[in-house]
Structures are given as structure tokens and as C-alpha cells.
Amino acid sequence: SGYIDPDDGIAPPAAEVPPPVDAKAAKADDDTEDDDAEASTDDEDEVESGPDPIIAAQRFGAVSDQMEITRKALKKHGRSNKLAIAELLALAELFMPIKLVPKQFEGLVERVRSALERLRAQERAIMQLCVRDARMPRTDFLRQFPGHEVDESWSDALAKGKAKYAEAIARLQPDIIRCQQKLTALETETGLTIAE
């Protein structure tokens, strides 16, 4: 039917693997296959050709409606609110039975990968500015930076500190803030916090 039925209790069928064929037997079978093909008639059972378009329209319409409700709840209450979480779960319940073709699935996964790569690139840029350029010890950076990815006052606090790298951080502060602003834009674009 093109949908996963969680009530089936049956795992989706694995792809059928043809049994190994002996090369000599295969040549002999080739001659008989032509005869079999001519003998077949049009009264064979019709094979299911995919999901019913009416059911598909209903399911995708329900997903679309729930997506709007979820977006509004997320915008109004935030991702950690109980109502927003309930709406996300309702959306997941509607979306789970839909089987995606590999091309569609890969498109969704690629969006997530792309956002993650951009996140890591900005985090690496901030680390290079602090560790390589400002000579901040890597252990200090790894201890202090998590949780302050988009906190623009973090670099200001470092610059005003008494550490020997404070002056260099102050000099590099505009570049650090620029990277943090890109992380903030990424948060806005994805609707997720950096930690998520």
C-alpha cells in the first residue's frame, strides 16, 4: 500500500534474493524462458502499483495541517514547552507510516547534514580564533565555550579577564562575535538550539 502499518506486527518484507544459479543450467533455462514468455497471457493478477492517490492526498493533507499547528506552537511557546512537544509527537505519529523513496529521504538527511557542517565550521572558526590566534589554551576553550556558542558577551568576559590571552581575545572579539552571529542565524533557520 506504500505505507507502514504499525498494527501489522509484521516486519516489512526483505528484498527477495534469487537462489544461486549454475552457469550450465542458466544456458539451458534461457531456451525455455522464451517459450514461457510467449505462453503467458494477460489474465495474470494485477500487481499493486503503489499508494492509492486518494489516501495519499488525505495523509499528506493531515501532515500539512499538523505541520502548521506545530509551527505555530513552536513559534508561540518554544521547543521545550509541553504543548509544542505534544504537537511534535502528533506530527511524528502522522509522518511515521509514510515510506519515503530514497531520493526524498536523502534530501531530508542532506539538509540536516548541511546545517551540522555549517555549525561545526563556525565552531572551528571560533576555536581557531581563540586557540591559535589568541593563544588561549585548548583545555580552557573546551571548558568555557560549550553553552556560550551564541552568547556574544562570552568573548567580552574573556577580554576583560586577567588571563594572559585576554588582550588578544579583545583584539579578535569582532571576528568571534561575527561567527557567533552566524550560529544565531543557523539557530533561527533550523528552529533548533545549538545544543539540540
Strand blocks (E) in 151-194:
none
User: How far is 154 from 169, CA to CA, in rounded Å?
Assistant: 11
pLDDT tens digits along 28-79: 444 444 444 444 444 445 556 677 788 888 888 888 998 899 889 888 888 8
Its domain, for residue 160, covers 101-196
pLDDT greater than 50 at residue 17: no
Q: Is 118 found in the same domain as 94?
A: no
Q: Is 189 found in the same domain as 116?
A: yes
Q: Is 116 found in the same domain as 56?
A: no
Crossing angle of helices 166-190 and 102-127, in 10° steps, is: 160
Terminal alpha carbon distance of the chain: 35
Domain end, chosen from 41, 68, 98, is at 98
Q: Would residue 23 count as lying in a domain? A: no
Q: Is 105 found in the same domain as 76?
A: no
Please, which residues have CB within 8 angstroms of residue 125's CB and are 6 or more apart in sequence? 179
How many domains does the chain contain in total? 2
Q: Would residue 31 count as lying in a domain? A: no
Question: Per-residue pLDDT averaged across 97-120, rounded?
Answer: 87
Residue 28: the pLDDT is 42
**Using an 8 Å Cβ cutoff, are 177 and 129 in contact?**
no
pTM of the model: 0.61
Q: Would residue 116 count as lying in a domain? A: yes
CA–chain centroid gap for 107, Å, is 9
**Using an 8 Å Cβ cutoff, are 112 and 172 in contact?**
no
Q: Would residue 47 count as lying in a domain? A: no
Question: Per-residue pLDDT averaged across 18-26, rounded?
Answer: 42
Q: Is 144 found in the same domain as 90?
A: no
Q: What is the pLDDT confidence band of residue 125, given thresholds at 50, 70 and 90?
A: very high
Q: Is 168 found in the same domain as 93?
A: no
